[in-house]
Structure 1
Amino acid sequence: MPVSIDICDSCIKVIEGEQQGSKIKINKAFIKEIDKSYIHNGYIHNKIDLTLLLTDIVNEYGLKNKDCFISFNSTDTVYKEITLPKTKYSNLDKLIKNSIQELFGDAINLVMDYEVCNEIKEDDKIFYKILIYGVPLKIVEDYKNVISNCGLVPKSLDIKRNAIYKISNNSINGEDIKDDINLFIDITGNDMMLSLMSKKIVLYKRDVDISEDIKREEIFLQGNSQEVNKEDEYELLEEIAISDIKKDDDITFLDDQDHHQEEAIFISPILLRVYEEVHKITQFSMSLNNGDIQKIYLYGDREDLDEIADYISNNTNTSSEKIKEIANIKSNVDIDISKFFIAIGNLLRK
Structure 2
Amino acid sequence: MRRGPTVPLRAGDGRHAPPPPLPDVYNIIPIHDLLTEHPSIRYPEVRAAAAALRDVSNLPRLPFVTRDPHMDLMDWLGVLFGFQRDNVRNQREHLVLHLANSQMRLQPPPTIPDELDQKVLRRFRGKLLSNYTSWCSYLGRKSQVALSKRNNNSNELRRELLYVALYLLIWGESGNLRFMPECICYIYHHMAMELNQVLDEWTDPNTGRPFLPSIYGDCAFLKSIVMPFYKTIKTEVDSSNNGTKPHSAWRNYDDLNEFFWSRRCFRKLSWPINFGSNYFDTVVKSNRIGKTGFVEQRSFWNVYRSFDKLWVLLILFLQASFIAWEGTEYPWQALERRDLQVELLTCFITWGGLRFLQSILDAGTQYSLVLGTQCCWV
Which bin holds the TM-score, normalised by the shorter protein? under 0.3
Could you say which structure has the higher helix fraction? 2
Task: Give the number of the structure with larger relative contact order, counting CA–CA contacts within 8 Å between residues 6 or more apart.
Answer: 1
Bigger Cα Rg: 2
Could you say which structure has the higher strand fraction? 1
> TM-score, normalization: structure 2?
0.22
> TM-score, normalization: structure 1?
0.24
